[in-house]
Amino acid sequence: MPLRIDNNGSLIVEVAYTFHKQQLELSRYKAIVETAVREVLATRLKLQYILRDYPKAENPKKLTEHDNVSGAVEDEDVVRAAHEIFGVETD
């Protein structure tokens, strides 16, 4: 997300993830984005990417032994309904 243009004439763009920042900083992608910005805004701007600063949760939820994080389905009615809707046969 574009945030601002700094005093040096750089467009500051906020990204959510390190992976995206790293990719956008690669010369081949940077050139593509800079060209698009130049064509849209009719001016040449340097790009600078920064990571979004997410606030830390004050009381993050702690998992208990009863939390289902395995992805295993515990409700057979839901499974049965999905099979009927999508026509999937299982053993």
Q: How many CA atoms lie within 13 A of 91 on its CB side?
A: 0
Phi (first) and psi of residue 10, to 5 degrees: -95, 135
- Evaluate if pTM is beyond 0.75: no
**Tens digits of residue pLDDT in 42-72:** 988 889 999 988 777 677 677 666 665 556 6
Average pLDDT score, the chain: 81
Separation in Å, CA 77 to CA 37, 43, 71, 72, 91 = 52, 59, 16, 14, 16
Q: Is the pLDDT at 90 greater than 60, yes or no?
A: no
